[in-house]
Structure 1
Amino acid sequence: MTNVRAEVRITGRVQGVWFRQSTKNTAERYGVSGWCRNNPDGSVEAIFEGKEAAVKLVVEWCKEGPNLARVDDVRVGWEQPTGEFEHFFIR
């Protein structure tokens, strides 16, 4: 199975609602590496790397997020994976 990299930006009510920790938990559940962080504009940014099916599941999860979140938009850019991450972390 092919490895992929998704660069994702999530907008809506996504800060202060456990979005980053929930993203980390979801990524770890599917064996996806990378990172996520809050941006000054109120969005959450993430990089996901791993098996294509697993990364797609995490990206789909981002469209809903945790219970307290309200996701308005998810923008995804697909790139070549770099293999630079051993695990998933919060920045």
Structure 2
Amino acid sequence: MNQFERLYDEHENVKVRFVGFTTEHTRYDFGIVYTNLFFGKPLVVCMQTGRSTLLDPKDLEDPEHLQHAFKIENHLQAEDLCEFLKITLPSTTFHTQYE
């Protein structure tokens, strides 16, 4: 049964933040997983749809990126989400994972 080549198998105690909020247009419920893996980028999970993505501050400069990642139909809703995440996610420099 050597059909799988294991790339990584890490165990880590992580900090998770659950946040729900509303805007004029919609309600959001997210889980944000802060980990040292994935170049230190937080894993943002939409609790309503199960969609997730790794985000860094540069990703938040492009609302279309969030619109695509979370399948948001309205561009204004994506802009609202970007604004919220800009004040919620850390603006740290990420490290290289594979050295």
> Which protein has the bigger helix share?
2
Give the number of the structure whose residues are more often strand, by fraction.
1
**Larger-Rg structure:** 2
TM-score by length of 2: 0.33
Q: Structure with the greater relative contact order (CA < 8 A, sep ≥ 6): 1 or 2?
A: 1
- Give the TM-score of the pair, scaled to structure 1: 0.36
